[in-house]
Amino acid sequence: MGFFKKKHTPPEHRVLPKHIGIIMDGNGRWAKKRRLPRSAGHNAGGKVFRKISRYCSDIGIKYLTVYAFSTENWKRPKEEIDALMKLFKDYLEEALRDFKDDSIVVRFIGDKTPFSDELKALMIENEEGSKDRDGMVLNIAMNYGSRDEIVRAVKNICKGVKNEEFDIDSIDEDLVSDNLYTAGQPDPDLIIRPSGEYRISNFLLWQSAYTEFVIMNKLWPDFKEKDLDEAIDIFNSRNRRFGGV
Ligand code: IPE
Ligand code: IPE
Ligand code: MG
């Protein structure tokens, strides 16, 4: 990290990523280090989610996508899943409504089907209640898996062909993008993964074709505003070529 510190970009010259993705990872390890149940790590991570979302909105980020629960996370013990569902419910009832002061538009990406009727209703209520705001778009990835998202897009496109809405030859990259949960949004410029894991874990596979990745050796519940600033500095030190020279 010292290397990047030397290249610190003065704030006035800093380029802000338009869209940031965050894989909110490391809650379990944070709790384990403190001999606490994993659910305590998720509770601590939830608070950081609230703080960092607000911070991104304050500094002028236009789109933030946070990975909260993957299609693979259902494999976890029932006790942990139950604690997470309870946490989601609390957040949907309280924290997300708080975002109205920041004009944040809340959207959920992922398949809502397996969630309880109560959670589904709360998710829809939050989306409907915030859709006319003019601030940062916050995508919360819940039961999100990028492979699942791509399969869903393929099915939609096949239906379009079958119903003669368009023909096979007109299928292009834009049409695929338009059939993803993130339709109409710019691709992420920067994806941050705290907790030190060097993998994507089924997050935004199509959308991250040219995203800059920043892996940080910090567990999500320990993540601070200054860590987000550091990730933006690292992003500024990168030379994005998009296949050019
Ligand atoms: C991320 O933290 C939160 C979810 C996946 C819901 P983890 O629970 O994966 O934390 P670690 O990776 O076990 O430390
Ligand atoms: C990715 O973290 C999913 C979320 C943070 C919600 P995981 O902890 O599930 O990823 P793996 O299992 O380490 O790849
Ligand atoms: Mg993890």
Q: Residue 197 CA: which ligand 2 atom is closest?
A: 13
For the domain that residue 115 is a member of, what is the CATH number? 3.40.1180.10
Q: Give yes or no for residue 170 having a pLDDT over 60.
A: yes
Q: Does residue 34 fall inside a structural domain?
A: yes
- Reply yes or no on whether 27 is catalytic: no
What pLDDT is stored for residue 13 in this prediction?
Answer: 79
Q: Residue 28 CA: which ligand 2 atom is closest?
A: 8
pTM for this predicted structure: 0.95
- Reply yes or no on whether 143 is catalytic: no
**Residue range 50-109, pLDDT digits in tens:** 999 999 999 999 999 999 999 999 999 999 999 999 999 999 998 777 888 889 999 999
Catalytic residue chosen out of the listed positions 27, 58, 73, 239: 73
Q: Does residue 57 fall inside a structural domain?
A: yes
Return phi, psi of residue 102, to 5°: -100, 5
Which domain covers residue 196, as residue numbers? Answer: 15-146+187-236
Q: How far is the CA of 16 from the centre of ligand 3 (A)?
A: 27
Please report which ligand is nearest the Cα atom of 41.
1
Task: Give the count of domains, the chain.
Answer: 1
